[in-house]
Amino acid sequence: MTDGFHRPRRRGVLLLAGLGLALWPVDPTPPPGTALEGVKSRDFLTVHTRNTPLTYYEGRLGPTGFEYELVRRFADYLGVSLTLEDDHNVSSVLASVREQGDLGAAALPLEPATPGIIYSQPVMLMQPMVVYRRGLPPPRTPADLVGLQIGTLKGTGISRVMHELQDSIPELSWKEATDLEIASLLKRVEDGSLDAAVVFEHQFRLNRLFFPEVEDGFKVGEKVAMAWALPDNQGMGLIDAANEFLVTLRASGKLDMLIDRYFGHDDYLEYVGARTFIQHVHGRLPRYEELFREAARRENFDWKLLAAVAYQESHWKPDATSPTGVRGMMMLTNVTAEEMNISNRLDPAESIEGGARYLRSIEQRLPEEITGNDRLYMTLAAYNVGLGHLYDARKIVSMLGRDPDRWEDVRDALPLLQESKWYERTRHGYARGSEPVIYVRNIQRYLEILDYVDHNQQQFHQLNARLPDDNDNALFQIVPPKSKG
């Protein structure tokens, strides 16, 4: 429940030494004179990546991101540790790979003609698509793009798609930015600086709910392969190992599972009302953010966790009241408020403080054997359904011969508290056990969104500190219409 995990620094600091077992057999005798031999002799793999939500970033529980997950598993596969070098953009990643090795993993497009670089087999395919600002006539064909202010990100593989499109529509023109990320590009569409953008479909799915004024238009061009980049003068040992790793990961189904985990949540986000949540993040949360931060510091929580719980409870309404008499931002009962020394449940500061104390008190009463995220999710479930019913669900898990210390098993057992053949065998009886399952799932999603928004805001501020004030001319390179002559 605490944030006491190791947070590795960037820029060439050794990460994850000995973390996890190798997932596949490792050849202990790499051929001499190759990059693979060098990696194994020094016992770590250096990966050049970018600090973005789609590649690698520091999450609530440590480093995360799609590319990070892949290269961490690849390092395990090789039986070595992992070092991350955080480069600025795609061009600097490729330059670093040429000069330093070992591998670049930064949502890189497979461009076979790139000097000094050899690419792995594709990691995944990325579909380019047009998005546009709501209120404009919806573009439905490439010809509809002529005359629009269109933005893209240089080095992502979309430039090639746009130039191929321009071959058939010479009037087409667009802007390319090197030092922007997807969120900054979509923000420019939403605020009117751009009419439209061409991005990858999975990028838009992940970001669309943060930019409700940006709509999807149509898919354009062929899919672009994402791949890893390696120096072309260091032998074939490491590239062969990377390809074997990716083949094995794909054949096992684990690669598709990883892709789905990071890029497959769009429908579910709509289901839990994430669009409304994002509106409240910008409209309501700033009034109470410091209160969440103060309570989180006192109780040693992530402030975003407390904010996610409060949103699930009251949508950040300090005067919320339920038909059963629970009230306030954290929806405390009279009994709980008294136990937590809270005199006014409708006062936002008191309610948040009381909710944080109550959440911590639940966590402290759980058995020590429950650890990590299992402990967090069971704490949240008990906040919703009560500790007694949580213990009853754990008893059912034991009856079923499963592990009562794993949230996945307890999650499956909680709905059984609605069935008489099960709840009659428990101490506290019937409970609407499906509710805490949905409750925890929603908080997980809200927390992911808050982490994502917070990270993007930090990136935005860092970027603005480096770039001229609001000078998009310094950010974008204009690609003019193609001469017909």
Give me the residues paired with residue 44 across strands. Answer: 81
d(CA 19, CA 73): 10
Hey, what are 174's tokens? 């667009």
Nearest one of 226, 15, 240, 236 to 104, comparing CA atoms: 226
d(CA 124, CA 107): 9
Using the structure block, give the residue that is written with the tokens 């600097």: 92
Of 58, 313, 350, 353, which residue is the catalytic one?
313
Using the structure block, give the residue that is written with the tokens 């949230």: 407
Active-site residue, 313 included: yes
Give me the residues paired with residue 231 across strands. Answer: 117
d(CA 251, CA 298): 47
d(CA 355, CA 314): 12
Active site residues: 313
